[in-house]
Structure 1
């Protein structure tokens, strides 16, 4: 896809803030007509700039108020071990985010759960079954200061 222009960037900013905005509403915000805005949005979707549209839920209202951050260090770092670990982590629905890190730890996991008991069961029955984990450090979020799904573009 060609380079994004300022109108494309404005569309992306608007949709990051509220993906439910209609094409008509986006067009009005940009002082443009609907048709070119519609075509731009379709082009941004096709080009992969917009991967999907989602509803962001309130984790407390859906009873998953506990956020755990797990720092994982592997015992072995050969490509096959890393690939296997990544596959096993992807299979765990409780893991919301996983990042392969540079530095002291190998992986950063973000997990949201309903209780500390549920976290204990996850560690005991699932994470402990992953053979190559050398060290697993758990941290629990006391207060969420800021959280955003928006990129500064």
Structure 2
């Protein structure tokens, strides 16, 4: 991947609906080589797909929570069970494995506080093997970007 490919990716991260002609113009390529590069990025799995950026609150998911989870044990069965079950939860938008005292960081979206309580009680607690759950609720967002920085 070269700097031109990265320019294409940044442009598509900003606006995945632009036409190939608009994209080619923006990255200073003619349309045919631009389309060829996009197809190569798709084929290589670098460009994984296209999606709509939907406002969670307008959709009805007004509460975002960052949930830190520590497992009781770190054996293979406990870890695999937890990860398999979390993957199946639509409310969990992201799940990251961490270094340090917390094992996982989840970004969760729900309709409100009552929905969050229900999510924890009926979806997370039944997973089992969880030692602790620590939650921080988002009350404002300063920056949210899906555009990666340019590399040299």
Compute the displacement of 1:32 (Å): 2.3
3-state SS, counterpart of residue 126 of structure 1: helix
- Residue pair 2:81, 2:127 contacting (<8 A) in 1 also: no
Structure 1's 151 and 30: CA in aligned 2 closer, same or farther, altered over 3 A? closer
Question: Offset at 1:102?
Answer: 0.6
Structure 2 counterpart of 1:34: 31
Deviation at 1:6, TM superposition (A): 2.0
Which string of whole-angstrom CA distances, capped at 9 and with x for unpartnered residues, describes residues 107-137 of structure 1? 0011011110000111111111011001011
Is it true that 1:147 corresponds to 2:144 in the alignment?
yes
TM-score by length of 1: 0.94
Paired residue total: 150
Aligned ranges 1:1-153 → 2 under 5 Å? 4-153=1-150
Runs of 4+ in 1 over 2 A off after TM superposition: none
Q: Secondary structure in 2 aligned to 1:61?
A: helix
Q: 1:30: how far off?
A: 2.8
Question: In structure 2, what is the Cα distance between the partners aligned to 1:33 and 1:99?
Answer: 40
How far is 1:151 from its partner?
1.2
Unaligned runs of 5+ in 1: none
Q: Which runs of 5+ in 2 are unaligned?
A: none
Task: Provide the aligned C-alpha RMSD in A.
Answer: 1.0
